[in-house]
Amino acid sequence: MIDETPEYTTRTLPFEGIDNVRDVGGLPLADGGTTRSGVLLRSGSLHHATADDVTRLVDGFGLTLVLDLRTPREIDRDGPTPVSAAGVETVPLTFIGESRDYLPETGDDTDPLLRNYLGYLGDHPANVAEAVRRLAAEDAGPALVHCAAGKDRTGVLVALVLDAVGVEREAVVADYALSAENVEAMWRRWTTAAGEEMPADLTPHLPRAVVMEAVLAHLDAEYGTDGTGGAAGWLRANGLDDAALERLRGRLT
């Protein structure tokens, strides 16, 4: 299980209209050192970003790229984000297929959330790999990845990135699980905007460390744990070359 120490469990950044924002910098690397700040942000939807939020992201953080992991239906429903309207390149890369018939063999008793996460890798492996390829591009600048809540689709992608660059496994899992502290605020924003009541129980919507541990253990089992396996092995198997992985490590470490 993870050791939730203060070094990487109190990193949520306050924004006016964007929930669950944090920089993936400062996470411990297995071979020493930490990940670099100012390179990659993760967040919930940018749909309610205020003018001050946009200024902070574009002028303060220097944001040049947004990876939007929402489905086409979600994007069409909400329209362009204020960040996209400000001219920041926004690339839609859905992780959810129209049909969820295909899932890796996991067994009928597998945790539904784990099945969903493995399903992202099975539904759209090319989009997952392309998201990482964009982050590793030679001319890549500061980037942000988001979905709706920034905890599931975003959580899986960021975990793959962090594992691939050599972040300590417990820190990878802790970064994913940290979204749990922001779920209530997100639901309060959504229900207030819709004029609805808060759910009585938010437990089903909370990320659970054990699920991400299981995702990474699955990748270890499939691709090995010798430094070339895990998330890096999955990415190689799905079209990312060693040069791209080295660029990714160079950017983040």
pLDDT of 102 strictly over 50: no
Closest residue by Cα to residue 145 from 40, 47, 58: 40
Q: Report CA torsion sign: 69, 74, 75, 80.
A: negative
pLDDT of 106 strictly over 70: no
Mean pLDDT over the full length of the chain: 88
Tell me which of 54-63, 147-156, 191-200 is least confident: 191-200
Structure confidence at residue 249 (pLDDT): 97
Banded model confidence at residue 189, pLDDT cuts 50, 70, 90: confident
Structure confidence at residue 227 (pLDDT): 60
pTM: 0.89
pLDDT of 185 strictly over 50: yes
| Percent residues over pLDDT 70 in the chain | 84
Are the C-beta atoms of residues 140 and 208 closer than 8 Å to each other? no
Q: How many CB atoms lie within 10 A of CB 221?
A: 11
Structure confidence at residue 2 (pLDDT): 34
pLDDT of 98 strictly over 90: no
For the chain, the straight-line distance linking the first and the last C-alpha, in angstroms and rounded, comes to 25
pLDDT of 68 strictly over 60: yes
pLDDT average, residue stretch 68-80: 93
* CATH of 13-98+108-189+205-252 among 3.90.190.10, 3.10.20.90, 2.40.50.100, 3.40.50.300: 3.90.190.10
